[in-house]
Amino acid sequence: MASLICAVPRTREALLYSILLSSRFINNPTPKLKSFSIQLSIVPQPHRHCPCSSSSSSNGGGVVVVSVGKEEGQLLRSPQLVALEYSDLNLSHNFSQDLGHVRIRQHVNPLCASLSVPAPVPDWSEVYRDSTLPLMVDIGSGSGRFLMWLAKRNLDSKNYLGLEIRKKLVKRAEHWVNELALRNIHFMFANATVSFKQLISTYPGPLMLVSILCPDPHFKKKYHKRRVLQKPLVEFIVDSLMPRGQVLLNISMICKTGHIC
Ligand SMILES: C[S@@+](CC[C@H](N)C(=O)[O-])C[C@H]1O[C@@H](n2cnc3c(N)ncnc32)[C@H](O)[C@@H]1O
């Protein structure tokens, strides 16, 4: 048994969000995961404290645990699960020395001077084979594998843009995109909070979907301004989406006050 853990309050709404996270494992597992049994359970987290609220979250805090196991005693850790989920991409791990050491935990301060200016707008017609196709943008794309997985399945119908503030992750994603020879996906080193508007205003096609998956929560109140989801960005997303456009949001926690943490 192994666990993929996503912290959520024990409300029905929040549970739905975390089921969204796990739904790819449950509803559409890769062939390699099909023979595994999958269980969802909620474990209370009495000590988890949400800084937006004056009280501790013992009134509703908890973690949803997705357990995946084949036989008693067999353990799969969540990074292994994620690797299995994307195994059909066949991504290589032979990088140059520079790319090989991507430290996943390293955080970047989005308020530093160099990240406070919008990223340069690329020539979209050079970036995509057909730059008029509907666009999906993943804000904080991390490793980028989720977008690559989608791009490979929608080669001629959609374009994909990953915005990521950690340069090394972007370089590694670009390396993988070249390997996969995909012409409908692009990754940019950018602070999405300050770059999204300019990038999307210049894209020739419609904005179809914006995903924000597990944004860094920045729990401490003094760091809330580092969160990627700031009001002007949310307003711009709402204004720019095409009719029937969608937002895919996967968050770790909604506190009592309704804040996304
Ligand atoms: C917790 S990770 C989630 C990564 C990915 N979405 C996933 O679900 O696996 C949050 C990501 O957002 C990125 N990020 C944080 N602030 C950002 C910003 N202002 N602009 C772009 N990316 C940002 C981080 O570098 C990190 O890769």
pLDDT in tens, 128-144: 999 999 999 999 999 99
**Residue ranges of the domains in the chain?**
2-85, 115-250
Identify whether 216 is a catalytic site residue: yes
Residue appearing with tokens 């990088």: 95
Residue 255 pLDDT:
58
Instruction: Report pLDDT for 243.
Output: 95
CA 255, distance to chain mean position in Å, is 20
Torsion region of 102: left, alpha or beta (phi above 0 gives left; psi -120 to 50 gives alpha): beta
Q: Which of 71, 56, 78, 111 has its CA nearest to residue 253?
A: 56
Residue identifier of the C-alpha nearest atom 12 of ligand 1:
140
**Helices and strands, counts by H and E, the chain:** 8, 8
Residue 1: per-residue pLDDT: 32
* The pLDDT of residue 18: 46
For the chain, report the end-to-end CA distance as a whole number of angstroms. Answer: 29
Whole-number pLDDT of residue 29? 46
Among protein residues, the one with the nearest Cα to ligand 1's atom 3 is 214
Which of the residues in the chain have pLDDT under 50? Answer: 1-34, 36, 38, 40, 42-43, 45-64
Give Cα 218 distance to the centre of its chain: 15
Instruction: Tell me which of 138, 156, 216, 239 is the catalytic residue.
Output: 216
The residue written with tokens 């308020």 in the block is 111
Structure confidence at residue 85 (pLDDT): 82
How remote is the CA of residue 166 from the centroid of ligand 1, in Å?
Answer: 8
Question: Could you tell me how far CA 4 lies from the centroid of its own chain?
Answer: 15
The third-level CATH classification (topology) of the domain covering 115-250 is Rossmann fold (3.40.50)
Predicted pLDDT at 71? 54
The confidence score (pLDDT) of residue 26 equals: 41
Query: In angstroms, rounded to a whole number, what is the distance separating the alpha carbons of residues 94 and 85?
Result: 20
